[in-house]
Structure formats: structure tokens, C-alpha cells
Amino acid sequence: MRAIPAASAVALLGVAALALTAPAATAAVDGGTTPFGFSVTPATVAPGGRVTLGVTNCSSTATASSGVFDTVNIPAGRTALATVDWDARAGTAYQVTFTCNGVTGRTNLTVAGATRAPVAPTAASTAIAPAGVRGGLGGSVGGVTGGELAAGTALVVVAAAGAVHAARRRGSASRAH
């Protein structure tokens, strides 16, 4: 009977851990002045960074354009990625214009502190030396998504609940003998 409150406590701890570790996602979103919705996520990005452009309630392909990235086509019901120019000025808010069925809406995209621009490759730097397999990248290749974080938290909660259940069974079994 006591396993359920213990499992509830463990589940609440898992949810709290998930809430505290989830990255805060900010987005520049339409203020409701157009018949369609649009967003730029994140609303602040470093030069050379990528943003996700989204449009809702648009029955055709929409476009997003800005002075800080090339014009991007956004298929109906989908999102698209845009790469911010490396020479974008840090601290500057650039206007992003979304167009759907001839109607336009605008929001801002702010460029964060400067990062180092990529070095143009030369003939000497593009030569690849023979080498073995590159291992050890593991989780360092990409970021953690919300789904992966939720799945990991769920596994921790299930393992903790199982441990509590096993400990209580073992305790009640030893008292019976």
C-alpha cells in the first residue's frame, strides 16, 4: 500500500527535474495582426547560427526574408531553417518579413554577441590525411531534444519506482519469516 505514495513522490521529483533542466525556448511571434501566424525561434541568435521559421494558418507556401539571411520558402503546415549571415552585426535587431497569399507580417530577430567567422578553406587545409575511425563524439554531436529529455526522465522515474517496490517487498518478506 505504501509503494504508491513513494512512487508518486519519485514521479514528482522526476517532473521537477525535467522542468528545471528543460532549455528555455524563446521565439519572436506574430502579435495577431495578420490572418496567419508566424514565428522565429530562437528570437536571439549568434552570427552564423540557425533559426527555425514557422507559419501557421497559411494554405500555400509562405516566404520569409530578412537582411540577415537569404529568402526562405516555408511549405504549408511546415517549418524551415535559415542560417544567419556570419557578418551580422551583434546587438542589432533585423526585421524578418513573412508573406502568405500576398499578406505580409513582420517580427524582429536579434543578433547576439559576435562569434568567430569561419575561415575560408585553402588547398592545403582541405587535404585529408589518412586516419582511423573518429570515435568518442557520443552525445557531443548534437543538442538534447525535449523528447530525449522526457524519455530519460521517464526511465529514471521507472527505475526509482522499481527500486522502491523491490525494497518494500524485500522488507515485508523478511518480516514474514
Q: How many CB atoms lie within 10 A of CB 94?
A: 18
Query: Does residue 104 sit in the same domain as residue 46?
Result: yes
Q: What is the tens place of the pLDDT at every residue in 128-153?
A: 445 555 555 555 455 567 777 788 88
Asked if the structure places residue 101 within a domain, the reply is yes
Cβ proximity of 157 and 10 under 8 Å: yes
Query: Does residue 8 sit in the same domain as residue 81?
Result: no
Query: Does residue 83 sit in the same domain as residue 62?
Result: yes
Query: Does residue 33 sit in the same domain as residue 63?
Result: yes
Query: Does residue 61 sit in the same domain as residue 12?
Result: no
Q: How far apart are CA 95 and CA 67, in angstroms?
A: 7
pLDDT band with cut points at 50, 70 and 90 for residue 52? very high
State residue 169's pLDDT score: 82
Domain count for the chain, please give it: 2
Asked if the structure places residue 55 within a domain, the reply is yes
Query: Does residue 46 sit in the same domain as residue 15?
Result: no
Residues of the domain holding 79: 28-111
Q: What is the CATH classification number for the domain harbouring 43? A: 2.60.40.1930
Instruction: Compute CA distances 120 → 61, 86, 89, 126, whole Å.
Output: 34, 12, 20, 10
Q: What is the tens place of the pLDDT at every residue in 67-89?
A: 999 999 999 888 999 999 999 99
- The residue with greater pLDDT, 121 or 153, is 153
